[in-house]
Amino acid sequence: MNKFLDDKSDWIDKQLLKNRENALPKIKLQEEVLLFGEIYSIDSPEVTLLRKQLLKLDTADSLKISKAYDIFYKRSAEEYLTKRVEYFGALMRLEYTALKFRKMKSRWGSCNSKKEITLNTQLMKVQKELIDYVVVHELSHLVHMNHSKEFHFFVNSYLSNSKNLRKKLKEIRLLDEIL
């Protein structure tokens, strides 16, 4: 076993470095918030809603603080992501039956056979171009309910850099980034 680890130590070190480089930035709870891939001070106008919520809480209650962040991300997602889905839905001439938002541990979004799209509220932490990729990806499932060549060609017809965006998104370790 030790020989195996010794033989693979360079590869292991490279993977650990890659994981650290691809992690979303860490924030200081109650002082900062991660929004669209940028760290904002809790005093920024973009996060007024969160600041008001946090001021009401006991600063030692980490569960309630985490819940306040979850509420902030969900409300932000409902506002921002709805607009992006409506924009791309109109552009792509596609209709969905429902748009839902929830915090998920292992996926950025989903689309089912009932034409219901669910988006992860944690999308609000990544860059806008990555959000658009997820939106177009899920809308594309309304046409292709798989990940075939045709599906990827369809996505790429609306986002010409979709392959690079998909790669960037896959490199983000979602599970570790959830508050």
Mean pLDDT to the nearest integer, 99-126: 96
pLDDT computed for residue 18 by the predictor: 56
**How many of the other CB atoms lie within 10 Å of CB of 68?**
23
Output the pTM of the full model.
0.83
Check whether 67 has a pLDDT greater than 60.
yes
Three-state DSSP at 134 gives helix
**Pairwise CA distance, residues 102 & 82, whole Å:** 13
Tokens of 35: 């929004």
Please, which pLDDT band fits residue 179 given cuts at 50, 70 and 90? low
pLDDT at 158 over 70: yes
State how beta strands 38-41 and 32-35 pair. Answer: antiparallel
Was domain 2-177 assigned CATH 3.40.1380.20? Answer: no
